[in-house]
Structure 1
Amino acid sequence: MIVVCSTSSILCNAIISAAGSQVKHIFDQQSSNGTLTFETSGGNLSCMQIAFRPWTCDKYQPQNLKQSIDTFISSVITYALRHNITTLG
């Protein structure tokens, strides 16, 4: 499984472009519903799944950076453990 920051348009566009139209369709559908936390198949990529997770941090409050990263990583690890996923990228 690869993890993509769904709030980074540059990263999302690059991954979605490589993953193909099926992943793009799901991403567009989820995004239009305001959903930023979801999973798709790997599409044309060699991974089994793509996990989209939002991550933001207020640049005016750098003291919150560690907590925001912890939250991002924890959500991915929790999902992986619940679904017996052993490889993250």
Structure 2
Amino acid sequence: MKIDVLYFAWVRERIGEPRETVETSAATVMDLVDELKAREPRYDLAFSDLKSLRVAVDQELTEFDASLEGVCEVAFFPPMTGG
């Protein structure tokens, strides 16, 4: 399946792209992360500390064990703060 993957803030800086379309067989977000990390060192660096990352699936904040069945978009970003 094809999924649009979006990267924000320092994740985008480490990967060097704001978005890409990925062909994947991943069942969960974590499976997708594992596939991406195996691609190149820049992905491994970007996903080296998952505690510092948040993920949204089809624009809904979720966890890394979320299913990718029927998903069109996954976004990775650092935690947000507000004031």
TM-score (norm 1): 0.31
**Higher RCO (C-alpha 8 Å, min separation 6):** 2
Higher helix share: 1
TM-score (norm: length of structure 2): 0.32
